[in-house]
Amino acid sequence: MAVGIFDSGLGGLTVLDAVSKRLPDVPLVYYGDSVNSPYGVRTADNIYDLTTAATERLFDAGCDLVILACNTASAAALRRMQEGWIPEGKRVLGVFVPLIEALTERRWGDNSPPREVDIKHVALFATPATVASRAFQRELAFRAVGVDVESQACGGVVDAIEDGDMILAEALVRSHVDALKRKMPNPDAAVLGCTHYPLMEETFAKALGEGVQVFSQANLVAESLADYLERRPEMLGSGTETLFLTSGDPAQVSDHATQFLRRKIEFQAA
């Protein structure tokens, strides 16, 4: 009955942590592709190839449902996967839609025409590949009209977090927020479009200033998954064991992950 969670590195652990608290009885198999991280500077074809390979590994581990807890993979690969790659009886979901549903105040499965919403000016902070894909704007347009989105590619932030250099990560976040505010001085809301960024949420919020609603993904994805599994319990796979898999060095990744979540995490080779 395991659910797979995939990320290019450690950022998806923020989603795993939220899901494990929301669904404590569901085994989770996490796969971090640390050897190839970060994905945010790779081409769309390369991201697709890496994401499908990782997803296949999670299918092999007994997961019929896989969450792409990586905005870059969700933006650059998910639609292509859904259009012709995913095997019958399997399902792959991304992390954009729960966030956009929260932003536009919609419930899952609400396919009514796009409408005006209260939020008019949105700052999107994401990796270069996510920004280039314009996937956020595409999904938003299905649900809302009249929303101005200004994107900021946050180069270096994921690397700093993965390296455990939070001082550098905080400095980079402040720099990227300053750059965004030169383009959009008064956003109504900010979207943290990378699963690494919840660790920097306080820094983003402080740099943005009061009055800016900050949307972060982990808890939104956990709630959306709980709702999905309540409606589709057959998507719980055959796996019964919680596992942490990595393409990198298990000992090194385990040390970084333990620091990342502030609890003991033990990875094994994928």
Whether CATH 3.40.50.1100 fits 97-215? no
Query: Catalytic one among 194, 199, 243, 265?
Result: 194
For the sheet containing 148-153, what is the strand order? 148-153, 121-126, 189-193, 213-215
Q: Omega of the bond prior to 38 within 30 degrees of 0, cis? A: yes
Query: Which of these, 219, 26, 186, lies nearest to 119 by C-alpha position?
Result: 186
Query: How many angstroms separate the Cα of 65 from the Cα of each of 196, 230, 240?
Result: 22, 13, 13
Matching fold, domains 3-94+218-269 and 97-215: yes
Q: Reduce the DSSP state of residue 65 to 3 states and report it.
A: strand
Token duo for residue 218: 């982990």
Does residue 108 surpass a pLDDT of 70? no
Kindly state the average pLDDT of the residues 255-269. 87
**Distance between CA 146 and CA 118 in Å, rounded?**
10
- Model confidence pLDDT, tens digit, residues 122-139: 999 998 888 988 988 988
Phi first, then psi: give them for residue 267, nearest 5 degrees: -90, 155
Q: What is the pLDDT of residues 28-42, one digit of tens each?
A: 999 999 999 888 889
Q: Do 142 and 115 form a contact (C-beta atoms < 8 A)?
A: no
Neighbour tally for 241: CB within 10 Å: 10
* Residue range 69-91: mean pLDDT, rounded: 91
Q: Is the pLDDT of residue 102 over 70?
A: yes
Q: How far is CA 99 from CA 191, 218, 224, 236, in A?
A: 8, 9, 9, 23
**Residue extents of the structural domains in the chain:** 3-94+218-269, 97-215
Annotated catalytic residue 194: yes
Q: Which of 66, 69, 70, 214 is catalytic?
A: 70
Residue 111, exposed/middle/buried by CB under 10 A (0-12, 13-18, 19+)? Answer: exposed
What's the DSSP call for residue 113?
P
pLDDT of residue 15: 93
Please list the alpha-helical segments (H only) found in 33-165: 44-60, 71-76, 78-84, 96-103, 128-133, 135-141, 157-162
- Alpha-carbon distance 71 to 80, whole Å? 15
pLDDT of residue 174: 97
Q: Which pLDDT score, from 0 to 100, does residue 217 have?
A: 83
- Name the least confident of 96-105, 180-189, 196-205: 96-105
Predicted confidence (pLDDT) per residue in 60-70, tens digit: 999 999 999 98
CATH of 3-94+218-269, one of 3.30.950.10, 3.40.50.300, 3.40.50.1860, 3.40.50.2300: 3.40.50.1860
Between helix 13-22 and helix 250-261 the angle, nearest 10°, is 60
pLDDT higher for 1 or 233?
A: 233
70 is catalytic: yes
Lowest mean pLDDT among 30-34, 42-46, 72-76, 108-112: 108-112
